[in-house]
Amino acid sequence: MKPIKVALLGCGTVGTQVVRLLDEQADDFAARVGAPIELTGIAVRRPDRHRDVPRHLLTADAAGLVASDVDVVVEVIGGIEPVRTLLLDALRAGKSVVSANKALLAESSGELFAAADESGADLYFEAAVAGAIPLLRPLRESLAGDRITRVMGIVNGTTNYILSAMDETGANYSETLGEASRLGYAEADPTADVDGYDAASKAAILASIAFHTRVTAGDVYREGISAVTSADVVAARTLGRTIKLLAICERVGDSVAVRVHPAMIPRSHPLASVGGAFNAVFVEAEAAGQLMFYGQGAGGAPTASAVLGDLVAVARNRVHGGRGPRESAYAALEVQPVGQVRTRYHLSLDVADKAGVLASVAAVFAEHDVSIAAVRQEGRTDDASLVIVTHAAPDAALKSTVDKVAGLPAVREVVSVMRVEGEEP
C-alpha cells in the first residue's frame, strides 16, 4: 500500500517520543492502519540542536514542510502563531491535522473545523486535554447520543502535585512550588499552570465538545492556586475535605457555565484521591450516569500515546476513505457569566471577640439572601476567628456578601474565601 506521509511540527519532549514510537512500532502501526506510516520531515527552530533524531528529516522551514507532499500534519509546537496559519494552510489543502495544542484549540477551534469541513480533512486533538487519558473521543463519539450535564476534573498536573503535597505535608504554597520545580513538575515559569490558564484552555475544549457549543478560553472564569494557604488546607481537612484546582463545565438550562478555580471537595469524592501529577475527569450524563477518566495527564510518552492514537485514526480514514467526527455546534448555548453560577463559599474571618459579632455578620448574609449552612467560632480576644460555610447561591450574591462583611467594624480581616463543591452539608 502507498504509505501515509506525515509531517511533524516540533520535536521537543512530546515530539521526540512521537519519533521514537513511530520508529520502534512501525510494523504494528502499518498493521493497524493498513499502510505504512512514513515520517517525511520534522520542522524545528534550530535543526542543529536535535541530535537524537535522523538529521535528514530536520528542517527549519515549517511552511515548506506543510506545503510538501504529505497526507497528515502532526503539531506539537504549542502557542498560537505561526501554528494557526500553518494548520489552516494544511487543512485548506486537504491535509489532515493532529494537534496537541490546547491554547490554539481553545481560541480557534471553530476556524480550524471550518477549514477541515471545507476541504474534507480530519482534525483530531485528543492530546490537547489530559495527556494520555482517552477523554475527548468518548465525549465526541461514545456519549454523542446522551446529554452531558456536567464535566468536572483535575486537568493540570502541576497544580495537583502542589495541592496534594500541601495536603500531605502541611507545607505552604511557596515551599511546595519550589519542590515541584526541583522535581520537574513545574516549569521555570509556572504562570500558565498555577494561575489557571492551562486549565482554562482545557475547560474551554471540554465544554465545547460536551455541550456542542463553541466556548473559548476567554469565556472561562479563572482563578489560580497562589492564594491557597496552609490554613485553607487545614480548614478543608477539618470539614472532611481537600482542595483541588477544578475545571467545572455545567449545563444550566439553555446555557453553559465554565470555570476554573480551587475548591474544597469531600474526601469521599472520587477526585479527592487523585494525587501527585495525575489528572482525572468526572463526567455526568443523563443516561450513562457518572463516569470517571483517570491517568497521566502530561509527559512526553503519555502525550505521544494520545497523539499517535489520533494519527492511527486519521491514517485509517485516509486508507479506507472514511472521515472523522466533525464539529458539533448545533446547540449554540449561551455562556453564563460566573456571577449567575450557583456555588457555595467557605469563609474565614478574623473578628473581634465581643457580643453581637455573629449577629451582625449573619444580618449581611440575610440581606443578600445567602443562607448559612454551618458556622463556628474559634479562639478568643485577638485570636478570634469566625468560619462560615454557605448553602448554594449565585456567585455575585456571595461576592457582594463578602465585600460588605469585610467592611463591618467587628471584622478585622477576611482571611480566606474558598469555593466548596460536592454534596451540601
Which residues carry out catalysis? Answer: 202
Burial (Cβ within 10 Å: 0-12, 13-18, ≥19) of residue 30:
middle
Residue 37 cell numbers, joined: 506510516
The whole-angstrom separation of Cα 157 and Cα 199 is 10
Count of CA atoms in the C-beta half-sphere (13 A) of 372: 18
Q: How far is CA 191 from CA 154, 186, 197, in A?
A: 17, 9, 8
The whole-angstrom separation of Cα 214 and Cα 258 is 12
The whole-angstrom separation of Cα 264 and Cα 178 is 23
The whole-angstrom separation of Cα 360 and Cα 40 is 72
**Helix segments in 120-223, DSSP class H:** 136-137, 157-169, 173-182, 191-194, 197-210
The whole-angstrom separation of Cα 51 and Cα 32 is 30
**How far is Cα of residue 244 from the mean position of the Cα atoms in its chain?**
13
Residue partners of 167: CB distance under 8 A and separation at least 6: 233, 236, 237, 242, 243
User: What is the helix (H) or strand (E) element at residue 366, kind and residue range?
Assistant: helix 357-367
